[in-house]
């Protein structure tokens, strides 16, 4: 989400808590536009790695909503929708994703098309190469803000400014293990860079993901996962999670975002095709102790069009 310098919300638009955040995020120059973050990233992998497209072996549809910092007006909200599937028997995969990200007067919508090609390395191991083509629509409603500067760049709203981008990723998986490296957006687009007072720039987000599934007994599975995100000008993000699945249906787990938040997760598989997942985050930073912050909430729905269990290329647990 874009950071904007030397802007003050109008009285009544945002509470004192978010004003503090605006000043924290501001600096001599503003960089580090970051991709949206997800607690349940393990069920939303195609959003960060195009190599995942088609890896589930059938058509898979997912929708996610995230509300961050509940109780804080103008706080970030994110909605995603994606659909992906293998194409024929040639190792090809295709996916479509839509991500809408909003904070205060700024909103972005990304439309992504994902292509993947999978090599069979052994009977149960696959290596996929993915490419992502995307279009970004940016809206910034400067008219909703009071400004400390007469910078002409900031006098007119930005309305559906289009920026193309490309991304890439590799994804390896067996029936029990997966790992991936990706950069969903490679081009570093600058916005209103002609201004001497304000700079906003999209930065590359580098992702590493991995996880493993242990069968503790015939009815219980255990899956630890890791997501690491590196962005220039922003703190290193490390997400560690652990989930248990009982009887292929009930999921219970927890997560820790390094130096940022603890999370609890629950999920339920309906008929083996339909997954419902819920997550709640509680920040460990000073923001988490603020009276106006009730934590962050996330819900995901995923449906796999499974014709037979033998059609699965990876366990439904990831």
Site of tokens 């687009």: 189
Within 8 A by CB and 6+ apart from 282, the residues are: 261, 262, 263, 288, 295
Residue 105: give its domain's CATH number. 2.40.160.40
User: How confident is the model at residue 258, as a pLDDT?
Assistant: 92
In a domain, 1, yes or no: no
Predicted pLDDT of residue 54: 94
Q: Is residue 2 part of a domain?
A: no
Residue 179 domain-assigned (yes or no): yes
Residue 194 lies in a domain: no
Q: Confirm whether 210 is domain-assigned.
A: yes
3-state secondary structure of 223: strand
Identify any residues that bridge with 249 across adjacent strands, giving them in sequence order. none
In contact, 202 and 185? CB cutoff 8 Å: yes
**318 occurs within a structural domain:** no
Tally of domains within the chain: 1
| Residue 314, pLDDT score | 41
pLDDT in the model for residue 309: 52
Token digits of residue 240? 């560690």
Q: Please check whether residue 251 lies inside any domain of the structure.
A: yes
Domain interval for residue 57: 41-144+153-189+202-304
The reply to whether 128 falls in a domain is yes
Tens-level pLDDT at each residue, the chain (318 residues): 444 443 333 333 344 444 434 433 443 334 444 688 899 998 989 999 999 999 998 999 999 999 988 878 788 899 999 999 999 778 999 999 999 999 888 889 999 999 999 999 988 899 999 999 999 998 887 776 665 555 555 567 777 789 999 999 999 999 899 999 999 999 987 765 555 444 566 789 999 999 999 999 999 999 999 999 999 888 899 999 999 999 989 999 999 999 889 999 999 998 878 999 999 999 887 766 666 678 899 999 999 997 655 444 444 688
Q: What is the pTM of this model?
A: 0.83
At residue 197, the pLDDT reads 46
Which residue has tokens 């997966």? Answer: 178
How far is Cα of residue 311 from the mean position of the Cα atoms in its chain? 27
∠ at Cα 102 (95, 301), nearest 5°?
45
């Amino acid at each position: 989400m874009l950071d904007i310098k030397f802007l003050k919300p109008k009285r009544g638009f945002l509470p004192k808590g978010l004003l503090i955040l605006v000043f924290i995020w501001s600096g001599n120059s503003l960089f580090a536009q970051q991709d949206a973050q997800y607690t349940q990233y393990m069920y939303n992998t195609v959003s960060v790695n195009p190599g995942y497209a088609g890896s589930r072996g059938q058509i898979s549809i997912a929708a996610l909503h995230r509300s961050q910092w509940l109780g804080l007006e103008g706080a970030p909200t994110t909605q995603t929708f994606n659909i992906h599937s293998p194409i024929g028997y040639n190792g090809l995969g295709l996916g479509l994703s839509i991500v809408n990200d909003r904070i205060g007067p700024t909103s972005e919508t990304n439309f992504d098309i994902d292509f993947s090609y999978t090599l069979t390395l052994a009977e149960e191991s696959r290596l996929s190469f993915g490419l992502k083509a995307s279009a970004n629509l940016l809206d910034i409603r400067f008219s909703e803000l009071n400004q400390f500067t007469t910078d002409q760049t900031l006098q007119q709203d930005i309305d559906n400014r289009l920026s193309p981008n490309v991304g890439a990723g590799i994804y390896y998986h067996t029936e029990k293990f997966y790992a991936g490296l990706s950069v969903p957006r490679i081009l570093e687009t600058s916005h209103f860079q002609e201004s001497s007072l304000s700079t906003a720039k999209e930065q590359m987000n580098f992702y590493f993901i991995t996880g493993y599934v242990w069968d503790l007994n015939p009815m219980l599975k255990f899956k630890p996962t890791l997501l690491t995100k590196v962005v220039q000008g922003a703190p290193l993000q490390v997400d560690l999670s652990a989930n248990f699945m009982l009887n292929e249906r009930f999921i219970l787990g927890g997560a820790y975002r390094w130096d940022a938040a603890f999370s609890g997760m629950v999920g339920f598989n309906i008929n083996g095709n339909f997954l419902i997942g819920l997550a709640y985050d509680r920040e460990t930073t000073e923001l988490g102790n603020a009276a106006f912050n009730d934590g962050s909430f996330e819900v995901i729905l995923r449906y796999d069009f499974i014709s037979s269990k033998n059609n699965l290329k990876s366990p439904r647990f990831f």
